Amino acid sequence: MNDILNKTTVLVLNRNWQAINVRTPAEAFCQMAINAATGLDIEGEDCMRPVTWSEWLKLPIRPHDNAVGSPRGPVRAPTVIVCVNYARVPQKRPNLSARTIRERDGHRCQYTGRVLRAEEGNIDHVVPRSRGGKTTWENCVFASKEINTKKGNRLPQEVGLRLLKSPRTPRTLPVTLTIRNAHGIRDWKPFLGDS
């Protein structure tokens, strides 16, 4: 039972029904109990209705539902809740990593333009760290291993290289685009698509 309560299996929607977060059933129950959120009673994509806490406690447990024990008997664990007063969609900037730099640069060597598999390239510091360059979005690019080795600890112009484009910090994205349905919960599909 604890396992069900503490898995992140509840999709949180803002009051406009846009996905904004993922919570555990324990956290969802708390939000529902203080009327900060309503649970969604979902019977397929065409039949969804917001349900208050007092109504939720009386919902029947269906064969495909997870349930948790309570002094009143079993209670259906929600899969989707809707915030009552929250309308924003939080924004998120991708974390700086080799993968996100590769994605920002379109898997393309930023000196030759060649599209590379991940193992064919690595991250180049435009201004080498040995010369004071920092590990930032504006100083890191995806480059082929051969080019990066040729460049070594020199500036691109010192070895006859030019960047295709200046590296920039990526735009922030709505957090909705970063939520993944890791547990394959069918009730999430109308809100996240096929992720």
Whole-model pTM? 0.65
The pLDDT tens digits of the residues spanning 89-119 come to 888 878 899 999 999 999 999 999 999 999 9
Say if 126 falls within a structural domain.
yes
| Predicted local distance difference test score (pLDDT) of residue 194 | 54
> What mean pLDDT value characterizes the chain?
91
Asked if the model's pLDDT at residue 170 lies above 80, the reply is yes
11 and 87 in a common domain: yes
Say if 166 falls within a structural domain.
no
Residue written as token pair 């096929």: 194
86 and 6 in a common domain: yes
Ramachandran angles phi, psi of 9, nearest 5°: -120, 15
Domain total for the chain? 2
Q: Find the range with the poorest average confidence among 17-26, 83-92, 172-181.
A: 172-181
Start-to-end CA span in the chain (Å):
27
Say if 32 falls within a structural domain.
yes
150 and 121 in a common domain: yes
* 126-133 contacts at long range (C-beta below 8 A, 24 or more positions apart): 126/155, 126/156, 126/163, 126/167, 127/155, 128/152, 128/153, 128/154, 128/155, 131/155
Full residue range of the structural domain in which residue 180 is found: 2-91+174-192
Asked if the model's pLDDT at residue 3 lies above 90, the reply is no
| Predicted local distance difference test score (pLDDT) of residue 2 | 55
Asked if the model's pLDDT at residue 158 lies above 90, the reply is yes
CA pair distance 71, 56, nearest whole angstrom: 15
